[in-house]
Structure 1
Amino acid sequence: MTCKTLLLSTSLALVPLASQAETQRDLDAHVHGEGKLNIAVEGSEIALELEVPGFDIVGFEHSAESQNDKDAIAAALTALSEPLNVFQLPEAADCHVTKAVAELHNGEYDEDHEEHGHGDHEDHHDHEDSHDHADHENAQHSEFHAEYVLSCQNTAAIDVISLGYFSAFKNAKELHVQFIDETGAKLLEASADQPELKLR
């Protein structure tokens, strides 16, 4: 099983763990300040998938028309393409990036940035916005989506992840985290006030 398959399994395995409140949050999935992070550890790899509202990253969700907006998006995509700056893993894990793809999705404008991609790129060029915007005719929502794969010498050493994400993106307030490894799956939360994930 690949880490990509494991990330999909993460979402499926954690469905029974979600409470009614979590279900309601999913119905109102686009909440400023709140993002989603999936983490899967398998063998010597750790895969991370981040989905967050555009507001959390750049402070707006409208289409980038001004040069300042375009520059903010470009800077955000560059920052998100450096996962070891956004997510700090223990040095003992000895991880390096094998894949990093960051994209912005909204109704009118998609942009991606790939800094370290070493795998199959076609999967990301065909990615479509999976959000139904029919109910939001007057509101435009954009989301940043990033996928990472890290190869590590010692994944057992990954017991905590420090999230530089919150200091890099000041509008980000919370991350709802789904974590899966060989021992099972769990739901976690991280916030700007508590920017550390204790995995084990």
Structure 2
Amino acid sequence: MIGRIAIFASLVATQVYSQEHRELGAHEHGVGQMDIAIEGTRLWMELHAPGADIVGFEHAAGNADDRAKIDSAVALLARPLDLFVFPSAAECTVVEAKAEIEAETHEESGEEGGHDHDEADAHDDDGGHTEFHAEYALDCANPSAIDRIAFAYFETFPNARELELQVLTETGAQAFEIERNAPVLELAGRS
């Protein structure tokens, strides 16, 4: 019981920090954040990614084509086992998956040019930012078999370059950066 309380407390603290960082700091196109927590047979994941990473733009859907891209992206993000591939021996199944797009204005984000943009970024400077948010709960019958996670996420979303990961297990927390050119997280021997 104490282990569960510690895991949940750490996860909440990590999520609060991550939320404050997203609200107060600048985000960078191409870079998303992901938290993963594993306790017993349950695995939770939370993903935040700039709209530019997922659909190629951050402005509100201005036409039917934009809306279709957003709807398609939300549907893709709602299928975690297609994006994040676990060893088959882990026998992971989806318990819950939800994905949505969130928007904020420059005033809400508190930024005055603290947003890292390339010259070629498709961004509406008069509007706000959009961010995709997804939450997943998986049940893995054999969690000890999770020795690696392959990130098909990068194949699905070509504008994504990197995911900053926080992985929390009963043995502690670790941070990783997963990049498009090396889309596999090796967990074997990292306890």
TM-score normalised by structure 2 residue count: 0.79
1:85 pairs with 2:82: yes
Equivalent residue pairs, number: 171
2:111 corresponds to which of 135, 142, 147: 135
How far apart in 2 are the matches of 1:165 and 1:98?
Answer: 19
What does residue 115 of structure 2 align with?
none
What does residue 155 of structure 1 align with?
143
How far apart in 1 are the matches of 2:15 and 2:99?
Answer: 25
Unaligned runs of 5+ in 1: 16-23, 109-130
Cα distance, 1:13–1:80 mapped onto 2, change above 3 Å: closer
Contact 2:41/2:139, CA 8 A, preserved across alignment: yes
Shift of 1:65: 1.4
How far apart in 2 are the matches of 1:133 and 1:184?
Answer: 31
What does residue 21 of structure 1 align with?
none
Contact 1:52/1:143, CA 8 A, preserved across alignment: yes
How far apart in 1 are the matches of 2:57 and 2:100?
Answer: 15
Cα distance, 1:165–1:8 mapped onto 2, change above 3 Å: farther
Percent identity between the aligned chains? 43
Q: Matched residue of 2:108: which SS? A: coil
Deviations 1:8-28, CA, capped at 9 Å, x for gaps: 62363699xxxxxxxx99954
Q: Matched residue of 1:52: which SS? A: strand
The letter of the residue matching 1:52 is A
The letter of the residue matching 2:75 is T
The letter of the residue matching 1:132 is E
How far apart in 2 are the matches of 1:84 and 1:196?
Answer: 14
Runs of 4+ that moved beyond 6 A:
none
Matches within 5 A, 1:1-200: 6=7, 9-10=10-11, 12=13, 28-107=25-104, 132-135=108-111, 138-199=126-187, 200=190
C-alpha RMSD over aligned residues? 3.0
Unaligned runs of 5+ in 2: 113-124
How far apart in 2 are the matches of 1:174 and 1:35?
Answer: 6
Q: Matched residue of 1:142: which SS? A: strand
